[in-house]
Structure 1
Amino acid sequence: MTLDELHRLLLPENLDMLDEHASDDPAAFALRFQGCADIPARAIAEQLACRRKALKKLPELSRFPILYTTLSLEQASGEASAAYKASLVHGERLIDLTGGLGIDTMFFARVFREVVYCERDTVLAELAAHNFRQIGISGVDTRCGDSLAMLDSFPDGFFDWIFVDPARREGGRRSVGLSAASPDVTAVHDFLLCKASRVMIKASPALELSRLREELPALSEIRVVSVGGECREVLLLLDRNRPEDHAVERVAVLLAQDGSILREIKGTGGEPRGRAVPVQAFFYEPDAAIIKAGLTKKLALDLGLAFVNGSVDFLTAEGFIADFPGRAFHVVAVERYKPKSFRDFLRRHGITAAAVQRRDFSLQPEEIRSKFRLRESDRCYLFFTRGRDGEPICVYALKPSPAGAAVLSVQDRNAAPEC
């Protein structure tokens, strides 16, 4: 959306038109009003499409007539993760250096007396200011320009917290590392901590976590957040006053879609890895946040689970754990994978459809599916990995019923119905 389109969209008659055509197909609307000089057809069509997507990502905020751009909505935090971030901070003043659509700012404004929103993109800054007014949010100072220059205009120690979500897409190219993003938080680490004693950095879910302390000396916590089982954010918390010998704590946070905390797993990532064992009666895949945080070893220790092999995060046990933080499966059979005989394995078990998963296995799921002509299934699962001896295996498993999972016997497993 251009600045001119935004200004035209904000005219009362065009906002009325947006509301009147709320149920229209966006493409059909754009085609119908294409060429009408007094109607920003493309901008209205963009809003129609964005509002439909926002219903799932921003269910509470979608009740208000707020505006979006396609990219800003895609990059914005969902309500569950935004509310969680706001629960971690407290104080009088916070500055959001990378305001974007303003979703995080909206939630920070609920817990701080004063929030400064900074955004270098003029369209986004005006759009966010409009949205703050629509929702009735006060206490937000909206500024447009270079955020580091704005931060420098405040005295040292003025803010309690700084929040920054570095842009990981510059010139159409996506980056993962902290130093390749904008702003480069590794380069301005000391500067940020002069302006606030605490800093929260929202990083890519693909960020490598192993050497972060070298890049960010004040790092005190790494929090990996999943929503509904999907890893959404890596939060890096810096503390100017942390003890010199402070070990960086890792926390995997599992949120439900409504934002409630289902589970938190805490550790250092340096816990010992237990020995691998043959696949037992039940097969477990930890939540994505636990795996990303490197806390599968801690989870295995806490729950008495064993690893399937020495390199991946698949776990196994003879007993069923009803509230396992991730996915649990009832094992039907385990087969050493050999391409020539695997069709016989599928035939013996009547498997013509399955969800295909793999870790540390040479073939991709789509290759396996094509090779063996497997249809999709939400009931039968085939996990391709390596056994404790390093040889490739396939684990055929089913989702257990909660009521009967704990008492399933070997005979029950062998009597599994066909897929």
Structure 2
Amino acid sequence: MNKHILDKEVQEYIQANRMLDPFTIAFQKSPFEHVSSSELAAQIDGWQRACKKLPTWAYSPNIYYPDRINLEQCSSEHTALVKQSLIRKGSKVVDITGGFSVDSCYMAQEAEIVVHCELNESLSQIVKHNAEQLGVRNLVPLFIDGVKFVEAQEDDSLDYIYIDPSRRVNNTRVFLLEDCEPNIVALQDMFLRKARYVISKISPLMDINLALLKLKHVKLLYVISLDGDCKELLFLQDRYHEGETRITAIRLFSDQLQKVTFTQEAEKTTLIKTSHPLQYLYDPDVAVTKAGAFKSVAKEFNLFKLHTHTHLYTSDSVVSDFPGRIFKIENLYSLSEFKKLSPFAKANVATKNFPMKVEDIRKRFKIKDGGEDYLFFATDYADNLIVIHGKKLS
């Protein structure tokens, strides 16, 4: 951490030039003796990234931005609010994998104290400085191995342990839970002796069913998407929980939160009704499909499914709080009708339970990408191949 970056004249320069291309700044001569042009560019790049992801940081004075990789890996403020909702007032929390402290800062708004453990000394110093600037007085940054810190605590002395295990080990991306660092599968018994609750943020690429087999006492699972991109899986283990996991698919978009809550047993036993396409078509968000709430979302919002294996839904009246995209159906074609007409030169194309890939459909029917028309190539309740033309509702 170069403390000269916080000098008044340097901060004024960064603010005056923060809309410029960081690469332009990096190749100019720095006007400051103790701050290089690459460091200035890094701060400007950090601010630009924070504008959408971390607006509280971006519009607070004297914030110090870390290396790009730390900003890329940190949570957004929107997803951090979900973690905050899990923390009980006045509790003791240890974040053993630290990072840029976005989750820690939000959890600190509910907790009595949050200990932020970080192995990168410079990053730990940055976190300490930023916490002071943001007025987060109960965040305690420590330059320490988080696992060793927790091991040294007395049993049952903590309320929550928070972990964001690294999916990159020795510069290689790993996909199994036990291959991440730290290995939360091997360490979970120790963690649950030290704290009643363990919250683990896991990559959305991980297999949910496999993770539930390997993690004990999982009370809650959140599958979180932001603006159509599945961001993370959040597992909450409760030392005393036995039985099923309650799964919640959360869609965050345009400062709104939509959700579906269910259990895997309820999903298996739920009976749904199928129908031909009615007036409105519903395409579920990626959080819903990743969570596996295919029947539960139909029951929750009183919708018909097009086919048991076609994850599209329909209704005669619009259900505006559905967690996904909603379309007004304009036309319905059998595949043979569509082949004869080929009525669209340009459209957004998607397939659901259909034997052709999108790129093959575009090539076959000479459909360019884009525009206001949406075409869903799907299988209906009677196993017919159909094409649904819709317009997206705002």
Q: Please give the TM-score of this superposition, normalised by the length of structure 1.
A: 0.84
Query: Is this contact kept in 1: 2:18–2:48, CA < 8 A?
Result: no
Q: Is 1:158 matched up with 2:157?
A: yes
Superposed displacement of residue 165, structure 1: 1.0
What is the Cα-based RMSD across aligned positions, in Å? 2.6
Residue identity matched to 2:25: F
What is the CA distance between 1:247 and its match in structure 2? 1.4
Correspondence for 1:408: none
Distance verdict in 2 for CA 1:355–1:194, change over 3 Å: same
Residues 297-308 of structure 1: pairs in structure 2 closer than 5 A: 297-308=295-306
8 A contact 2:18–2:44 mirrored in 1: yes
8 Å CA contact 2:329, 2:391 repeated in 1: yes
8 A Cα contact 1:269 1:298, kept in partner: no
Q: 1:279 maps to which residue? A: 277
Matched position secondary structure for 2:213: helix
Q: Distance in 2 between matches of 1:178 and 1:213?
A: 11
Q: Distance in 2 between matches of 1:305 and 1:23?
A: 46
Tell me, in whole angstroms, the C-alpha distance in 1 between the residues paired with 2:44 and 2:362. Answer: 37
Structure 2 equivalent of residue 107 of structure 1: 106
Secondary structure of the structure 2 residue equivalent to 1:187: helix
Residues 1:295 and 2:290 aligned together? no
Which stretch of structure 1 is more off in the superposition, 156-165 or 379-388?
379-388
Is 1:247 the counterpart of 2:244? The answer is yes
- Secondary structure, in 3 states, of the residue corresponding to 2:390? strand
Query: Deviation at 1:114?
Result: 1.1
Q: Which residue of 1 aligns with 2:370?
A: 377
Matched, 1:25 2:21: yes
For residues 192-211 of structure 1, the aligned pairs below 5 Å read: 192-211=191-210
1:39 paired to 2:35: yes
Match of residue 95 from structure 1: 94
Residue of structure 2 aligned with 1:267, choices 245, 262, 269: 262
Cα shift at 1:11: 5.5
1:13-412 maps to which residues of 2 (within 5 A)?
A: 14-33=10-29, 38-64=34-60, 65-66=62-63, 67-90=65-88, 91-242=90-241, 244=242, 246-258=243-255, 262-270=257-265, 271=267, 272-274=270-272, 276-337=274-335, 342=338, 344-347=340-343, 351-390=344-383, 392-400=385-393
> What is the alpha-carbon distance in structure 1 between the residues aligned to residue 209 and residue 168 of structure 2?
23
> In structure 2, how many angstroms separate the alpha carbons of the residues matched to 1:8 and 1:170?
33
Checking the alignment, whether the CA contact within 8 Å between 1:97 and 1:147 is kept in structure 2 is yes
SS in 2 for 1:132: helix
SS of residue matched to 1:308: strand
| 2:258–2:321 contact (8 Å) kept in structure 1 | no
Deviation at 1:191, TM superposition (A): 0.8
Displacement, 1:367? 4.4
**Are 2:275 and 2:305, in contact at CA under 8 Å, matched by a contact in 1?**
yes
Q: Is the 1:8–1:40 Cα contact (8 Å) retained in structure 2?
A: no
Identity %: 28
Deviations 1:184-218 (A, max 9, x none): 11111101101100111111122222233320121
How far the C-alpha of 1:130 sits from its partner, in A, is 2.0
Separation in structure 1 between the aligned mates of residue 207 and residue 313 of structure 2, nearest angstrom: 23
Aligned length: 388
> Following the alignment from structure 1 to structure 2, what is the Cα–Cα distance between the partners of residues 96 and 224?
20
- Mapped contact 2:19–2:48 kept (Cα < 8 A): no
1:395/1:93 Cα in 2 relative to 1: closer, same or farther (>3 Å)? same
Distance 1:70 1:277 in 2: 49
Q: Does the residue aligned with 2:235 lie in a helix, a strand or coil? A: strand
Q: Is the 8 A contact 1:33 1:39 kept in 2?
A: no
Relative to structure 1, the CA distance from residue 324 to residue 264 in structure 2 (aligned partners, 3 Å threshold; closer, same or farther) is closer
Q: 1:134 to 1:303 in 2, by over 3 A?
A: closer
Q: CA offsets, 1:343-396, max 9 Å, x none? A: 53333xxx2221122234454434433444433335210112333355543222
- Could you tell me which amino acid in structure 2 is paired with residue 247 of structure 1? E
Give the Å deviation of 1:310. Answer: 2.5
For structure 2, the residue ranges without an aligned partner over 5 or more in a row are none
Q: Which secondary structure does the structure 1 equivalent of 2:295 belong to?
A: helix
